[in-house]
Amino acid sequence: MNTPPDAPTPNPATWPEVDWLAPDAAVELPPSAGWYAPLKPSVDYLIALAVAVPALPVIGVCYALVRLTSPGPGFYLQTRSGLRGRPYLILKLRSMAHNCEATTGIQWSQKGDLRVTRLGKFLRKSHLDELPQIFNVLRGEMSLVGPRPERPEVIAAKGLAKQVPGYARRLDVKPGVTGFAQLQLAADSDLTSVRHKVAYDLYYIANQSLWLDARLILATVAKTVGVSMPWLRRLFLLARRERVGQFFRTLTPHAASPAGESSTQFQAV
C-alpha cells in the first residue's frame, strides 16, 4: 500500500482524510472572508459582558463547593497558547486534585481519570469549570467560540506542531471557551484524537460566522442539560464528520492518497 512514508499505519476504522496524512503534509487554509472575523472580538466582548453578571453567583457557589470538598484553591491559573502561540493565563474552576501533576507529570486526562475529584466530574460534565473563562474573553485573550487552548509544554512534549498536519494553523484565531471541535469530540487523549480535533478546528476557522457561533453557543448550553450529540447535530445543523473530512481534504491538495486513490475517491468512512 503506497501510504505516505511517515503516515500512521492505515486502519479501516480510521479517518482517511486525516489519519493517513504524513506529519509534514502542507495544509493550505484560506483566510476568513466576510465581515464577521474582524468584528468577532467586539461581539465576544459584548456577549461576555452580558453573561458575566448572571454567571458571577454561579461561579461563586461552585468556587465555595470546590474549597469545601477538596484541599487546595477553588480556582487555578494555567498557561495556555493563545493567538499565534502567545502565552496567557487561563482561569478555571479546579476540577482535579491540587498539584496532581507533581507526581504524574504532564499528561492528558483520560476517561476515569483518578485525578478528577467527585465534584470535578460534575463540573466537567456540565462545563461549569469553564465558566470563569468569561474573564479571559473580557481581557481579549480568548473568544467565546474557537479551538481549545492547549498548554505550551504539552505542545512541545507531544510534538503536536510536528506530528499533526495543520496544527499551527489553529493558532491563527483566538482559542475559545467552547468550539466546533470541543463540542463534538472527546477530550484529547492521543495524537489521533488531536488530528481529528484539528480537522474540525480548521473547518470552523474557514467557515466562522455569527450564525455558526450562535448555533455553537446554544448547542453548548443544550449539551450541559443533557441533549445528546446526534440531536445537537440535527437541531443546530452542525456539519457531520463526512463533510468536515471532505473539506479538510481540500486543504491538503498535494498530499498523497492511500493506495494511490484520487482525491475524488477519497471519502470519509
- Provide DSSP, 61-110: HHHHHHHHHSSS-SEEEEEEE-GGG-EEEEEEE--B-TTTHHHH-S----
Torsion sign across C-alpha atoms 73, 79, 83, 86: positive
5 part of a folded domain: no
133 part of a folded domain: yes
- For 223, the domain range is 16-260
Inter-residue contact 81 to 136 (CB < 8 Å): no
24 part of a folded domain: yes
What is the model's pLDDT at position 256? 60
Instruction: List, for residues 169-205, the tens digit of each pLDDT value.
Output: 999 999 999 999 999 998 888 899 999 999 999 999 9
Band (254; pLDDT cuts 50, 70, 90): confident
20 part of a folded domain: yes
- How many CB atoms are located within 10 Å of the residue 55 CB? 16
Total domain count, the chain: 1
269 part of a folded domain: no
266 part of a folded domain: no
**Alpha carbons 246 and 180: distance in angstroms, whole number:** 16
Band (12; pLDDT cuts 50, 70, 90): very low
3 part of a folded domain: no
Considering the chain, what is the average pLDDT of its residues? 86
Q: Could you tell me the pTM of the whole model?
A: 0.86
Q: Write phi, then psi, for 75 (nearest 5 degrees).
A: -105, 160
160, 238, 246 from 188: Cα distances, Å: 12, 21, 22
Q: Write phi, then psi, for 176 (nearest 5 degrees).
A: -120, 155
Report strand pairing: 143-145 vs 87-93: unpaired
2 part of a folded domain: no
